[in-house]
Structure 1
């Protein structure tokens, strides 16, 4: 049965509207009834009691804001009457007693993956072509043009036939109004050539704007990120183009590779343009080496692997007022299931942990882990304030429009992706995950920067919750899009893989949705193609350690 409202935590003093509530609608929870004093849009919050200026607003059992203007019981909370606020945090009791979920249905399950020499297992098999510096981006693009179509890796649909139809309409004398009203029935050209290398999922050409200029720490972080991609279990090998004089030197990249995989055994071809000479010589050599590498990569085949070899990245973007009560807690249950099975999960987006720091501290396995988390959070927050920003500026216009009106409110819901298991490690960007369990990774809240970082740290599958819809993907790791509400899943079925609006609709529980997500993750890890891969969505943005929320 679908309810009109939901109360997330017993300590909360607000309700979430699960549907549009007209003025004068009686609603209640646990015997406490209020009547809406104005229209409450779905996903937004209404006061469960009269709230005066300065009163605390509690959701998910934590402080998410303070009242800036009075609101009666049944009144709507808006950016005009509530301001961001969070509680202070300090060293706490490390809760090592964790009630693991029942994983009996998944014990003994396997996925079909690519076993690598370092013991990790990939969920895909890609070849990378990477520039060490932005000066090489054009050469990367030249290589892409030379390789992708003839090897059968072209994925993007062509809308050129529709353009041709529009030209024909104009030439036939049709007006602007006719053009705007035209119903274009042209079939899109999405045909692909057969892959020459059937066991290679694709060649990924990563371009970026870094490698030189800025500060030397930027070059070091970029090389660490690129090393994370080269050593990633979803990657069979790589071709690297360097100019030669940039800050991000080949030796720096090699050092970062050795940190992550001291016995690195994958094929790796590195070319410096200033040593090779002409563009033709560089590109021709890179083509031969890449083709030879693809022949080696094609010898790899999928083999059974235990679920403990999965490293799941947890991400959200385009969040709405339902994200924290459907998609995110469902993913949180998936996280707990995988941790109980011996796998790894990565919770990132530090600006979206604002307000739940004390819970994270209490869940840390020891003092050092908790202290590293708090020091990274403080440094990140201070750097934002130093340039006139702050975590309170994190919610986007879309977040606010759909019910997330303070950063603390958004963060409290976002943090639920991490479930309830202990925090075993806290990593600074772009460090590698080395421990099973829940790992925290310091990244921005920006969707692509954070997803890029999680994969660089070892995530071989990413689950990405969204309430508004986003096509974000990654070059080498499948990104599973999970809708927080059924309307989104119906409106944008081309980018949504799973719908957890069923929780809002009263059709399944959080636990049932979490198990369904894990079932799907196993299929994807075995080669099932997700929407982002099908559409060729390969977003890649390294994080420069400036302020990015």
Structure 2
């Protein structure tokens, strides 16, 4: 049964509208009836009690803002009458014992993955072609044009027939108005125009970027760390690296970062330096020959059963709405707790979207050192934002605000629910590698692609991505499973959504049931079932540039 409103935590003094509520609508929760004084759009919040300027607003049991002006009982909370506010935090811990969820039904389950020499298991098998500096991006593009189609890795739909149709209409004398009114034929799907020459290789990924030189040395070091995370990743069979030669991100720096992550690295790795080789033709021809040989080696890998403890899941949200924190995100939280109980690893990132829940995560840290590192990274990140005239309070996007997330603390309190309730076993700075089973916190931006890029670089072999507005983001090497927070989105954008948790809002299933359904899908996706982002060739890759440009 679908209710009109929801109260997320007993300490909250606001309700969430689960559907549009016209002015004058009486809503009842826990025996208390409130009448709306104005229209409350679905996903937005109404006051459960009268609020005066300066009064605190609580959701999820934490402070998410303060009233800027008077808000009557049943009134709508907006950016005009409410502002961001959070509680302070300290590193004194009050950790309670964690009770894991029952996992008997999952303990014997396996996924079919690619086993690597270091003991990790991939959910895919890719070959990488990487530039160490943006100067090599054109050569990367040339290699992509030479390899992708002929080897059977074309993925995107082709809209060229529609262009040809428009040309024909113009040549036939059609007017601008007639062309604008034309209903073009559906785009042809360009996937696998040729059969894959290497059936055990999921694809070749070309990681073009804008870094490697021109910034501070720390940016070059971070980039090399990120690229090393991808090269050593269990979803990667090997890599071809193009270097110009004179850039900040030197080959030796990359090799050091590879050794940090994989001291006994044994994958095929071909590194070419253009300033040593000479002409573009010589460089590209050598890269083609070596990449082709690498693909032959990569094709020798096959999927074999692996326990669920070999999964490392990245938790991500993007295009969030007012339902994300009460459907999709807590469902991911249950998945997180199940996987931790099974011995797997989970990554919760997006530090600007943990603003306001710091004390909870500090209290869940396994020791004072872990708690102190989280506190230090959060404060340093917040200070760096303030130093350039911004702040965490500016995190919510226009889409977030339009759909009910009107302060960063409100957004963060819902986003943090992706991490479930298990202890925090480690806190990592970008782009460090996950080495411990359990819940890991990773310092990244709130930007969807930068954060997803980082989670995979830190070892996530699959990413669960919740969205309330619709975000098509994917990753070059890890399946990104898109989970809708509401049924309307799942019905409107079925081409990018894999799973719908709007069923929780609709009263059709519980958070726990949705979480188990997601984990079942994760096992299938980890075994090679194609997710929407892979089907669409969505391979977004953006390194985080943390310093100024010099």
CA deviation map 1:94-114 (0-9, x unaligned): 425101111111111000000
- Tell me the equivalent position of 1:139: 139
- Tell me the equivalent position of 2:450: 449
Task: Please tell me whether residue 536 in structure 1 is matched to residue 545 in structure 2.
Answer: no
- Tell me the equivalent position of 1:328: 329
CA distance, structure 2, for counterparts of residue 157 and residue 9 of structure 1: 45
Stretch deviating more after TM superposition (90-99 or 53-62): 90-99
Shift of 1:213: 1.0
Stretch deviating more after TM superposition (98-107 or 350-359): 98-107
- Tell me the equivalent position of 1:232: 233
Residues 82-481 of structure 1: pairs in structure 2 closer than 5 A: 82-186=82-186, 188-191=188-191, 192-481=193-482
- Tell me the equivalent position of 2:51: 51
CA contact (8 A) 1:96 1:422 kept: no
So what's the TM-score if we normalise by structure 1? Answer: 0.99
CA distance, structure 2, for counterparts of residue 507 and residue 268 of structure 1: 50
CA distance, structure 1, for counterparts of residue 281 and residue 124 of structure 2: 32
CA contact (8 A) 1:94 1:365 kept: no
Match of 2:144, SS?
helix
CA contact (8 A) 2:334 2:420 kept: yes
CA contact (8 A) 1:332 1:418 kept: yes
CA distance, structure 2, for counterparts of residue 332 and residue 118 of structure 1: 29
Shift of 1:545: 1.1
Match of 2:98, SS?
coil
CA distance, structure 1, for counterparts of residue 387 and residue 406 of structure 2: 23
Shift of 1:190: 2.3
CA distance, structure 1, for counterparts of residue 92 and residue 486 of structure 2: 36
CA deviation map 1:248-273 (0-9, x unaligned): 00000000000000000000000000
Shift of 1:390: 0.2
CA deviation map 1:485-524 (0-9, x unaligned): 0000000000000000000000000000000000000000
CA deviation map 1:386-442 (0-9, x unaligned): 110000000000000000000000000000000000000000000000000000000
CA contact (8 A) 2:109 2:308 kept: yes
Unaligned segments of structure 1, at least 5 residues: none
So what's the TM-score if we normalise by structure 2? Answer: 0.99
- Tell me the equivalent position of 2:68: 68
CA deviation map 1:193-235 (0-9, x unaligned): 1000000000000100100111000000000000000000000
CA distance, structure 2, for counterparts of residue 405 and residue 256 of structure 1: 40
CA deviation map 1:309-337 (0-9, x unaligned): 00000000000000000000000000000
Shift of 1:169: 1.5
CA distance, structure 1, for counterparts of residue 44 and residue 498 of structure 2: 25
Shift of 1:93: 2.6
Shift of 1:187: 5.2
Match of 1:63, SS?
strand
Shift of 1:185: 2.3
Q: Which runs of 4+ in 1 moved over 6 A?
A: none
RMSD, aligned α-carbons? 0.8
CA contact (8 A) 1:320 1:399 kept: yes
CA deviation map 1:354-412 (0-9, x unaligned): 00000000000000000000000000000000110000000000000000000000000
CA distance, structure 1, for counterparts of residue 228 and residue 342 of structure 2: 28
CA distance, structure 2, for counterparts of residue 215 and residue 488 of structure 1: 42
Match of 1:304, SS?
strand
